[in-house]
Each structure stands twice: as C-alpha cells, then as structure tokens.
Structure 1
Amino acid sequence: MLQRFSKYHGAGNDFLIADNRDGHLSLSEEVIRHLCDRHTGFGADGVMLLESGSGKDFNMVYFNPDGSGGMMCGNGGRCIVAFAADCGAVSPDSTIVFDAADGEHIASIPENGMKGEKTVRLKMKDVSGITAYPEEDGFFLDTGTRHYVKFVSGLADYPVLSEGPVLRHDSRFAPVGTNVNFVEVAGGPASTVRTICTAKGDSSTLEAEGQASTVLSIRTFEKGVEYETLACGTGIVASAMASFVRGVPPSRTAGEAVAYSVRAAIADLSVEFVPHRDNGLFCASDVYLTGPACFVGYVEVQID
C-alpha cells in the first residue's frame, strides 16, 4: 500500500502525519523507526495519526521515533490541528476539540497565514505537583509527558548532548525516564515573584508581585528521540511552570493568569496558565501553548 504522509514542523519539531479516520493504517515500530530515520527514511521527531474521535473532532495518536507511544506532544498537538484544518477534518475558524493520550485538548487557529504557516493555540492538561531539587536548580513535573527542567547559564554552549542522556536515565526517574530541558532566563529580577516551592515537596507563598520582560531560552534532550530536538511543546510548558515556581517573573500577567515568552532554537512561543495551590501542591489550570505550525510537504512510502 502506498501511503501519503504530510510533514509539518512546530518551532522546528518535525512530524509525519497521516489521515487515518477510516482506520486503514496500522504502523509497526519498525515502520515508524524507518520513517523517522534521517538517513535511510524521511526524517522526523515523531509520527502522528489523525483518527476518528468519539464525540470529538478527532483523536491524536502519537509515536516517538523509536516507535514508542502513549504520551502527549505539545508541538505535535499544534501540528496535527494545522493538518486537520488543511485536510478539511475541521474548520480553521472553529474551536477544535480532540483527544490525545493524556485526555481532551481544545485548540484554535488565531492566525492562518500564507504558505502553510499557522499560529495554533493549544490547551494543555492541568498540572498538579512539582518536585524541586534546589541543589541542582532543577524541577521535575509531568505536563502530559515527564520533564526534568534544569536552569543553567551559557545555554548556547551548554553540553546538552552529554548532560542530557545522564539526566534522562537518572535513577530518580526510572524506570520510565524523563525528557530534559535546559533553560536560561533573561529579563527582570527573580525577586519580583515569590518562590512557592523551596525544597522537595515544600510549598510556600504563591503570589505574583509584578511582571518583567522575561524571556526563557530553552534546549531539550528528548526521550524517544534520544537526541536534542529544536523544540518540545510539553517541555516548553514544563519550563514555564518551573520558572514560576523558581521565582522567575512572568513576561506578562492578566488577572490570575501568568504568561511566559519562550525562545526555542528557531521560533518563539508563549505559555499561559493560572497557578494555584491544592493541599500544599503547586497546580496549574487553563494551560495554553501558542506557537507556529508549518506545513513542509508530502512524502509517500510503501507500507506492506
């Protein structure tokens, strides 16, 4: 069977996507690994299938390049929304509701640009709980996928390819492992927001006291890819939340919501959420990830 895939990228995070609403397509781990291989295949950070949803616009099925699945991908979610609009599965002017491995998501397309470029605003899962490792300036949380966020200086020259695998396989996160995000902060002083998590599981005051022109720069070592990727949506969300907990001032505030501007390798994105506490734990609701989703082209592959 000759199968067509559409290639999209979200901030440089690239994916091969197929329309499987009729259920004709079943992909083995071997086929997924071949498709994603950048030397012998077409190359991608993941493969997605757009499938029929039960009462929703569609169901998002995501696979890592190693063939593993069962997790959410934020940039993938934005790209599959753009794909759904381009193939006529949804209207770009509507509110789009779909299911993924971590539950229901809501999306909109505030900008539908030329040459296949769209801006997609994607509602992510609510988050409950974060573990701080102050001696490492690190934080662990689950934003649909597990992430360890480490704050560093000199990000441009930071040894992501050597430090990333060490933390990805750290025994604290075994046996599942974790994605690893390295973050550098530029902007206003951290004292403008009170820290709410000072040690492992310890919570203190949750109160934003101001805002500044904060920009978070991020590099990611991604589990399943086992290499640095140009962007990671759930990691960008995790990094914004870790920044708030660390005491980094938001880029802007609106009522109870805070927002952070994030700079990935080739694109800028934003993360919004409403922080609060529940039984002493950091929580975040109304979480949104906004950024570009771009159509690249079509590829065809023979699948037996």
Structure 2
Amino acid sequence: MDFFKYQGTGNDFVLIDDRNGTFPASNQVLIEQLCHRRFGIGADGLILLQSDPDYDFRMMYFNADGAEGSMCGNGGRCIVRFAHDLGLFEHETRFLAVDGEHIAVVSGDDISLKMGDVSGIDQRDGLTFLNTGSPHVVRFIDDLESIDVVAEGRSIRYSATFQPSGTNVNYAQQLDNNTLFVRTYERGVEDETYSCGTGVTAVALVATQQLTMPSPIFIKTMGGNLHVSFNRQADGGFNTIYLIGPAKRVFSGTISL
C-alpha cells in the first residue's frame, strides 16, 4: 500500500488515497499499528481520501488508537493539501467530513479551512466547553510553560462530567492583544500533541468572549503558528469560522499490510 505523511504545525497524519475503496477501514488494530511511532509509520492519526459523488472528495479520519474520530482541523488542512497535490482541484475545494461540508482555499503554503458553525459556549461543572467539530474544554492560565498538560488534561478528559465519550482539553495563555499560546491534550491520541486545529479554533472563540479579543486571533502552538478568523453573532454563536495555516508533505512510502 502506498502512503503519504503530512503535517500541519506538527500535527502529523498518514494520508491514503482510498478512492478505489480498498483500504480495510474497519480494521482498528491495523490503523493503530500504522500510527504507532515505534512499530509503524508514526502519526497522530490516519486519514482516508475517498470518492464522493457530490464533492471533490470525502475525508474519513481515524485517531491514533484506530477508532474513527470526530472532525480534525489540522487533518482537514492536510487532506486539502494532499488533494491539491493529487491534482483534484486548483485553488478552492469543497469536501465532506464527519461533521458535514467544508470549503477550503490553497494560497501558497497556507490552507484556509472553513470550519462548521458553533452554536454557543457552555459551562460544565465550572469548565468552559464547546464543540468545534470535536468537543473541547478551554482553560486560560498564566504560566503555560510549567503546566503538566498530560496529567491535567487526562483528569478532565476522563472525568464523569464528559463521559462516556470524553473531551479534548486546551490550556491557553494570552501573549498580547491578538496572540495566544495554546497547548492541547487530545483524546484518541491520549497525549499532548504539537497542535490541534479544532482546539485552537475553540480557544479563539472563547478568547473573544472571555478576553474580548477581536478576530482574527493568532495562535502559537508547539508545532507552529495558526490563526483563526470568525464572525460572532448576536445570539452568542459563531459563523464564517476559518482555520488558517501551513500543511506540508513530509514523505511518502510503501508498506505491506
């Protein structure tokens, strides 16, 4: 099987052209093995590019544990770059993911990915929670460098409040009037990742509500820089949300299944 490795601000994925529908998508053990960083290719997740009669392509995303996941923002930007590299479109594309339709634009190194609308931001047991295609908790702290993201994030991810499916957990620190530093514990990976697209989107929306930061908001992650633009609605919801940043091919190869 031919595979391709892509990364978006350090969030890395195995990409497979599955337009012929032959990949064994139900084999969770195989997908977990392919994502394993010691015994496989190594990635935060695996993404299939599939055919769809109404769209340029369909995105099917799996977490590193082999289970099909919710929407992945950085993965979405990577599959757009992959589809562009395959010649499926020139400048703008329209594709289907688990949370519905997405539009994306390629402009040089950057991919601008339109995210789904967000109806609002909730409070659950004193924690700020919202869904940006995947569920996220957002917490603002003063010293992001020193926090144990894995230990703190895991305790919230597995807490009774968010059972049975759990949640991703983001910690953010305001650096200036339009910039945040964000670190994320991702469910499915069960570790801190270098970047999380739906996570930084969630942080940006909460920041405009709680810190009165205007759009666009610039995000620093351990894997690089992103920015999020959006429109805040009078009813507390958000639309016209774009996640913007680089996505690049790292290498390609062939592996025996």
Alignment TM-score > 0.5, same fold:
yes
Which of 110, 121, 126 is the aligned partner of 1:130?
Answer: 121
Alignment partner, residue 95 of structure 2: 98
SS of residue in 2 equivalent to 1:88:
coil
- 1:236 corresponds to 2:233: no
> Separation in 1 of the partners of 2:57 and 2:95?
5
1:235-254 equivalences under 5 Å are 235-250=199-214
Distance 2:133 2:213 in 1: 24
Superposed displacement of residue 70, structure 1? 4.2
In structure 1, what is the Cα distance between the partners aligned to 2:17 and 2:223?
Answer: 27
Which residue matches 2:181? Answer: 217
Among 194, 211, 217, the alignment partner of 1:260 is: 217
2:255 equivalent to 1:293: no
1:145: which partner in 2? 134
Deviations 1:248-301 (A, max 9, x none): 322xxxxxxx210000113111101101133xxx20000000001011001321
Aligned to 1:44: 43
Of 16-25 and 5-14, more deviation after overlay is shown by: 16-25
Task: State the one-letter code of the partner of 2:68.
Answer: G
* SS, match of residue 5 in structure 2: strand
In structure 2, what is the Cα distance between the partners aligned to 1:30 and 1:299?
20
Partner residue, 2:144: 155
Partner of residue 211, structure 1:
none
Please state how far the C-alpha of 1:247 moved relative to its aligned partner. 2.5
Q: Secondary structure at the match of 1:286?
A: strand
1:272 corresponding residue in structure 2: 229
Task: Please provide the CA RMSD for this pair.
Answer: 1.3
Per-residue CA deviation, residues 190-212 of structure 1 (Å, 9 max, x unaligned), is xxxxxxxxxxxxxxxxxxxxxxx
In structure 2, the partner of 1:115 is none
Aligned residue in 1 for 2:6: 8
Secondary structure at the residue paired with 1:248?
coil
User: By how many angstroms is 1:11 displaced?
Assistant: 0.3
* Amino acid of the structure 2 residue aligned with 1:249: M
User: Which of structures 1 and 2 has the bigger CA Rg?
Assistant: 1
Instruction: State the alpha-carbon separation in 2 of the partners of residues 233 and 102 from structure 1.
Output: 14
Cα distance in structure 2, aligned partners of 1:270 and 1:9: 16
CA contact (8 A) 2:113 2:243 kept: yes
Contact 2:11 2:223 in 1 (8 A): no
Deviation at 1:75, TM superposition (A): 0.2
* Deviations, residues 61-118 of structure 1 (Å, cap 9, x unaligned): 0000111114110000000000001112222xx210000000000000111xxxxxx3
In the aligned structure 2, how far is the partner of 1:43 from the partner of 1:153?
33
1:30, CA displacement in angstroms? 0.6
Are 1:171 and 2:160 counterparts? Answer: yes
* Letter of the structure 2 residue corresponding to residue 102 of structure 1: D
Shift of 1:131: 1.1
Name the residue aligned to 1:59: 58
Q: TM-score, normalised by structure 1?
A: 0.82
Distance 1:60 1:97 in 2: 11
Q: 1:227 aligns with which of 191, 197, 202?
A: 191
Q: Deviations over 1:151-197 (max 9, x none)?
A: 11110111112101001112111111000001001213xxxxxxxxx
- Does the 8 Å CA contact 2:63/2:69 hold for their aligned counterparts? no
Mapped partners of 2:223, 2:234: distance in 1: 34
| C-alpha distance in 2 between matches for 1:132 and 1:292 | 32
Residue type of the alignment partner of 1:83: F
Q: Which moved more, 1:6-15 or 1:155-164?
A: 155-164
Q: 2:17 aligns with which of 19, 28, 35?
A: 19
